[in-house]
Amino acid sequence: MADDTTTTGTPAPGGATPVQPELLALRERIDSVDRELLALLNRRAGLALAVGELKKKEGSVVFRPEREAQVIDGLKSANPGPLKNDNVAPIWREIMSACRALETPTRVAYLGPAGTFSEEAALGYFGSSIVKVPCASMDEVMRTTAAGAADFGVMPVENSTEGGVARTLDLFLTSPLFIIGETSLIVRHNLLRKDNALAGIHTVAAHPQALAQCHGWLSHHLPDVERRPVSSNAEGARLAALDAGIAGIASLRAAAEFGLHVVSPAIQDDAHNRTRFAIVTHPDRHPAPKASGHDCTSLVVSVPNKPGAMHDLLVPLKEHGVSMTRFESRPARSGQWEYFFYIDLDGHPDEPRMNTALHALRETCAFFKVLGAYPVDVH
């Protein structure tokens, strides 16, 4: 923070009011605390490097999502304030990201280009000290991560307005990747354009999910305008930067990235619109997270086409006290009106009750696949 004066009572250039001695004293104390923080952060980085050396010797991985979740949960529990708990997770994710980068940079694939909500989710979960690997489609995110060109992939799973992201759910069926973490993002859609006006727009370009999440606003304010689905919201913003007649729906990051005006902010129909993202990786390169004490287990199953099959699916969960937090169906595309069911359960397979329930559940299913067991989102 820049001071207004160089000495107490001496005006800054331009005749600014002299800074009060009390303010100067507080600034000096803040500067002193900042230097203490820097010293402590460097001590932490040194310890992280020592941990990294031990991990190299034993052949274990650098990133442990359950460990980071436990660290953040512990800090929030011990936080006396006035710093709000909502600010603890982002601060410490950046600290841990910077420490991890001293060992091995983490490569993260996500739906690009720059300015997408997927990029924002990647930075929010892993911190900014990563190697970003933007991809042209969600299929490419999965392929890039499966091939080892990225250590992790970030995939949108569901939206609070539109439900499950169909393409992601379909990809999970056959992909060798599994989920090791999750993060959720408040999604505020903004109408972006070269000109700062609604007049003259002939096309709104955005990802199909964004167009759906803004259906009401678009129908009221731009009822006769073409809605053009594109691969990502950032792609819509890129097109808007090339043609004054095109508006994009995207984030404020995308507006800054492509030099666009925010013609109308927050045009999503749901003011509390959130998107949940799954963090995926290959089991050959990263072990499954251990129980953190606050976990989710994700499955995809199908049941035999017979009376009572759905009842049989739910009985093991009830009998063993396992809570189901999400249940969604997708057609199996067999032409026989068969479905796959995507289920989230509260708990981890390391817990006896969950382990027993999963074994009983497997016996009732025609198809059974664990997509991952991982710490729930730490805000």
Catalytic residues, by residue number, are 275, 277
Calpha distance 269→222 (Å, rounded): 14
Calpha distance 66→6 (Å, rounded): 48
Calpha distance 368→379 (Å, rounded): 31
CB contact set of 244 (below 8 Å; sequence gap of 6+) = 193, 194, 195, 200
Calpha distance 191→202 (Å, rounded): 13
Task: Report helix angle 309-319 to 352-364, nearest 10.
Answer: 170
In SS3 terms, the chain reads as CCCCCCCCCCCCCCCCCCCCHHHHHHHHHHHHHHHHHHHHHHHHHHHHHHHHHHHHHHCCCCCCHHHHHHHHHHHHHHCCCCCCHHHHHHHHHHHHHHHHHHHCCEEEEEECCCCCHHHHHHHHHHCCCEEEEEECCHHHHHHHHHCCCCCEEEEEEEECCCEECHHHHHHHHHCCCEEEEEEEEECCCEEEECCCCCCCCCEEEECHHHHHHCHHHHHHHCCCCEEEECCCHHHHHHHHHHCCCEEEEECHHHHHHHCCEEEECCCCCCCCCEEEEEEEECCCCCCCCCCCCCEEEEEEEECCCCCCHHHHHHHHHHHCCCCEEEEEEEECCCCCCCEEEEEEEECCCCCHHHHHHHHHHHHHCCEEEEEEEEECCCC
